[in-house]
Amino acid sequence: MSVGEKEVYTQVEKIEADPKNPQKCTFTYEKVRWDFYQLGTFYVMPKHLEEPVFKKYGAQKEGYEKNSLYVKDPTNPGLYNGPYLVSDIQLGDHVTFVPNPKFNGEAPKIKKIIVKLIPNTGTLEANLRSGTIDLISTLGLALDQALAFDKKIQSEGLPYTVLYQPSAVYEHIDLNLENPILKDIRVRKALVTSVNREDLIKALFEGKQTAAIHSITPKDPWFTDDPNKIVLYKYSKRDAEKLLDEAGWKMGADGYRYKDGKKLSFTIMTTAGNKTRELVQVYLQNQWKQVGIEVIAKNEPARVFFGETTKKRQFDAMAMFAWVSSPENNPKSTFHSRNIASPKNGYSGQNYMGWSNKEVDAALDKLDLELKHEGRVSLIHEVLKAYTDEVPVIPLYYRSDVAVVPKKLKNYRLTGHQFPETNQVEYWTIEQ
Amino acid sequence: MSTYITRRLIQTLVVIGLLSYMCFYLMTLMPGDPVEIMISSNPRITSEDVARLRTLYGLDQPAYVRYVNWVKDFVRGELGYSRTYRVPVSELMGPRLVNTFYLSLVAMIFSLAIAIPLGIYSGLKPGSKFDYIVNFLSFGGISMPSFWLGIVLIIIFAVNLQWLPAGGTQTVGIEGQGFWAEFFDRLKYLILPMLSLSIQQIGRFSRFTRSAMLEAMRNDFIRTAKAKGLSHQIVVWRHGFRNALIPLITIFALSISSLFSGALITETLFAYQGAGRLIYESIMANDFNVAMVSFVISVSMVLIMNLVADICYGVADPRIAYN
């Protein structure tokens, strides 16, 4: 089967439905797991419709995927058990939803919802203002576009509201720990200390995003900002300069630092064409220049950056990108030394920093087996302590989701986690 | 003539074969594959998952083996399966090609209908006020970036005047409301992208027509025709324009060949469901089957329309013969 995370499916040994109570079914796992409720993309399917397809095509290579009714007959009402049914679908253009009369919950109020794909975000605002669309979902505007539109709403009195919601996206810079200069922890600490993240957020995002302190986002139950549990870095140019001096990097006449005749210089890479990241890059270059570090931007198309550079750890020093996580997610694929991307594992690991810490590896392995919430929190805080102390990554900010909705639309809520705002679509109402 | 056409058709097939392999091979050299794209933002996918998916999609095989398999399927009429949209390529590409064809054809007819008379009149009156104005507008049209023009058109006609939709291909739910209702609805969505495409084309075509006409009208036989006392209309159309047709046929044939390739910027800007955007997305997402079919169509159209242009030269100018 062409599913990504096979483990999600194979971990479940059997599922038993109770014929007396259609709202109850029992999952039996092959191993005892605390994260049994994190089924991700595991959705209930209509047996009476999909089982015959699976029996007929399941043995063929990609047979089921190509012949499922979700592909062949996507408007079949029996395929859906949510508040809405798909009534029309035009690939790459739109999907139309109508209320599901058999939905086992509160009846949806809006009679028709059309989800339209507009590929150019620059024309989204024009589409909204011309009445072609009624709202812009979280997938639409970038934060800078939303901020600009928010100002127009205020100045022109437009009937829209811009919603901002901190999300589960962590923007950061992976440091290549094989870089001889970055092997020195004092240089890494100087890098993080010399970045004024609070000011960055204010200057570029008008305070609508949150400065990051580590990889776990504030809404996650595992989050901590307790200085007794993790190392917090307050912006201090003086401390950064002190650390660099201790590491032997002395300020030269040209405003940059040198050691044994070598300039303190790095390259920072990110996805080309991403305006927000390019702005952040310029901001960071300026901050680091103030403490005598030269940082040169070298950007690549997303496909090259993710397909080759980060995957094979070919970035010289810094790679700026984001991870999207669900709450209470074991970060072993990005932190465990087993997952350092290398030819051995077919470059499939996502520990692009090359970070290796035996205590962290042990804590991450234990985390999967720890059944008590407090125990898991304690283990993850151990990991975060090492993560913030050793600085394999420079945390930047937690991204916010943005959406533009008409003022008359009520009960539209951004979730702030991996599920979209349509999670509770049945409650949306239009006030006349 | 038939020997010439047969020979050219065989050459065309060979060129398509060679170019398609080159394209396939170049795509395999591009960084990342469909599995890379799946894992790029998902930290939960394991190395075992990656290896399993690569084997499943046949991505662990060498490029030539994958190409041979693709050709075998293509010859059998199986165009493959789109990994991005999870539907057969034929199902995906058919409507997109039709949409692109409509847009490109309407834009071309509109452009030619305006550009050819402008170019001819300009060519007949070089240095006149009319010629200066046409030249000025043509250069303006050629120089105008289509993404900028598209946004300006959207702001004027969709946001301010609210006469036309800002984007899309047709109104959702218009199907089944009768032929004319659907026809006029499609037309409404075509106007802005068509204008955006045509303004550049009008500029280009009128410049070509002007220079071809200017060149033709300088010939000795034109002077002879005038001396013979032929009417101005006959001199212009039968002697001047016919001779100006040769370069125009080349331009026209090359433009026709792009009817199915689509216009990426215009389609993206106006959220128009055309092939141009699909081709771009398929290449970026490593959707091999879609990209390869699009490529074969584009190459075939260019080669076939060049052949058609060669045949048309003979029709337009009896001095050109194929033996």
Q: Which residue has the higher pLDDT, B140 or B280?
A: B140
Q: What percent of chain A has pLDDT over 70?
A: 97
pLDDT at B317: 73
- Among A94, A123, A355, the strongest candidate for a mutation testing the B interface, having the largest count of B CBs within 10 A, is A123
pLDDT at B262: 62
Task: Work out the widest C-alpha separation in chain B, in whole angstroms.
Answer: 86
pLDDT at residue A1 tops 60: no
pLDDT at residue A43 tops 60: yes
pLDDT digit string (tens) for B218-239? 888 888 988 988 888 888 888 8
CB atoms within 10 A of CB A146: 23
Strand-pair partners of A410: A429
The nearest CA of chain A is from the CA of B26 a distance in Å of 14
pLDDT digit string (tens) for A49-101? 999 999 999 888 778 888 899 988 999 999 999 999 999 998 888 999 999 99
* Alpha-carbon Rg for chain B in angstroms: 24
pLDDT at A182: 96
* Alpha-carbon Rg for chain A in angstroms: 25
pLDDT at A3: 57
Residue contact A6–B52, C-beta within 8 A: yes
Pairing status of strand A160-175 against strand A318-324: antiparallel
pLDDT at residue B54 tops 80: no
pLDDT at B37: 63
* CB-based contacts of A333, cutoff 8 Å, min separation 6: A339, A349, A350, A351, B43, B44, B45, B46
pLDDT at residue A4 tops 60: no
- pTM score above 0.90: no
pLDDT at A7: 66
- Among B30, B40, B52, B189, the strongest candidate for a mutation testing the A interface, having the largest count of A CBs within 10 A, is B40
pLDDT at A224: 96
Residue contact A346–B50, C-beta within 8 A: yes
pLDDT digit string (tens) for A338-383? 889 887 777 777 899 999 999 999 999 999 889 999 999 999 999 9
Task: Work out the widest C-alpha separation in chain A, in whole angstroms.
Answer: 82
Place of tokens 């209908």: B113
pLDDT at A6: 65
pLDDT at residue B45 tops 70: no
pLDDT at B38: 63
Q: What is the mean pLDDT of residues B93-107?
A: 88
Mean pLDDT (chain B) is: 84
Q: Which residue has the higher pLDDT, A379 or B127?
A: A379
Q: By the 8 A CB rule, do A84 and A97 touch?
A: yes
* Range from A243-252, A413-422, B193-202 that averages highest in pLDDT: A243-252
pLDDT at B13: 85
Q: What is the mean pLDDT of residues B191-214?
A: 91
Q: Which residue has the higher pLDDT, A318 or B265?
A: A318
Burial code of A118-143, b = ≥16 C-beta within 10 A, e = fewer?
A: bbbeebbbbbbbbebbbbbbbebbeb
* Range from A276-285, B5-14, B21-30, B43-52 that averages highest in pLDDT: A276-285
* Range from A137-146, A210-219, B246-255 that averages highest in pLDDT: A210-219
Taking CA–CA distances from B285, the nearest residue in chain A reads: A303
Q: What percent of chain B has pLDDT over 90?
A: 17
Burial code of B233-265, b = ≥16 C-beta within 10 A, e = fewer?
A: eebbeebbbebbbbbbbbbbbebbbbbbbbbbb
pLDDT at A354: 95
pLDDT digit string (tens) for A69-82? 998 899 999 999 99
pLDDT at A401: 92
pLDDT at B247: 80
Residue contact A93–B271, C-beta within 8 A: yes
Taking CA–CA distances from A304, the nearest residue in chain B reads: B31
pLDDT at A195: 96
pLDDT digit string (tens) for B129-161? 999 999 999 999 889 888 889 889 998 999 888
Q: What is the mean pLDDT of residues B265-291?
A: 84
Length of chain A: 432
Taking CA–CA distances from A170, the nearest residue in chain B reads: B41
The ipTM assigned to this model is: 0.72
pLDDT at B41: 53
Q: Determine contact: A324 vs chain B, CB below 8 A.
A: yes
Q: Which of residues 101-140 of A touch B (CB under 8 A)?
A: 114, 116-120, 122-123, 126-127, 129-132
The nearest CA of chain A is from the CA of B38 a distance in Å of 7
Strand-pair partners of A402: A164
pLDDT at B43: 55
For chain B, the 3-state helix, strand and coil shares in percent, each to the nearest 5, are 75, 0, 25
At residue A211 the predicted structure's pLDDT band, cuts being 50, 70 and 90, is: very high
Lowest mean pLDDT among A137-146, B156-165, B244-253: B244-253
pLDDT at B40: 58
